[in-house]
Amino acid sequence: MADIARLTQVIEPEVNALGFDLVRVRIFGKSEVGDDEIALQIMAENPKTGQLVLDDCVKLSHRISDRMDALEEAGEVLLDEAYRLEVSSPGIDRPLTRPKDYAAWTGHEAKVNLAVAVEGNRKALHGDLVGIEGETVTIDDRKSGRVSFPLADIQSARLVLTDKLIAATRPLDTSGADEILEEQED
C-alpha cells in the first residue's frame, strides 16, 4: 500500500505554493471506488474561505500531477498501481483532521470514530465539539456526556450538516457569476 506520509510530504508543498492549506490526503481502495483503480484524494482549502472553487481544484490537480510525474521520471514510485487523482474542497460537513479544525469548529456537531475505546467501551461518539486543549479533544457526546480523548486516538472525524453549521459557513465568492449566466443565456 502507498505511504501516506511520503505522499503528504510531496503534496503539501505544492498545496502551500498556491496559498492553500492541506486538509487531507487519502487513498480509497478498489473496492471502495468500484472500479479497477485506486483514488488518491486530496482535500485542500483556501485559508481565507475554508473552501476551494473549481478553478483552484484544477490548478492544484495539475500542480500535484506534474510533481508526481517528475518524481516518477526520476525513479521514485509513489503509487505502484494505476490511480485517479481527486482534488476537492472539504465541503461544509468537512472532515476534522488537524488540531486547528477542532478549535475552529468548537460548538458544532461532529461524529468521531476512535481507534481506542473510551467511556464504557465506546469508539463512536456524536455530539457538540467542546474544543481542543493541547493534544486532548473534548466532545459533549449524546450518550456518554462530556468525553475527552487524545487527538492521536481519532481514526476519523467530521462535522455534521446542521442549520447552525450552514449559517456559520462562509459563502463562496460569487463575483462574476452574473456574467457567466448572461453568457449562457445568449
Q: What is the mean pLDDT of the chain?
A: 89
- Element of type H or E holding 21: strand 21-28
CATH number of the domain that residue 109 is part of = 2.30.30.180
Residue 126 pLDDT > 90: yes
Same domain assignment for residues 68 and 103: no
Domain membership flag for residue 142: yes
Beta strands at 136-141 and 122-133: parallel, antiparallel or unpaired: antiparallel
Q: Give the pLDDT of residue 2.
A: 77
* 84 plus 103 within the same structural domain: no
Q: Which residue has the cell 464504557?
A: 120
Question: Nearest Cα to 157, choosing from 123, 133, 119, 134?
Answer: 123
Kindly report the backbone phi and psi dihedral angles of residue 14, in degrees, each rounded to the nearest multiple of 5, phi listed first.
-70, -40
Q: What is the pTM of this model?
A: 0.82
Range of the domain at 68: 4-88
Residue at 41 is within a domain: yes
Q: How far is CA 148 from the centre of its chain?
A: 22
Sorted by sequence, the CB contacts under 8 Å of residue 26 that are 6+ apart come out as 4, 40, 41, 43
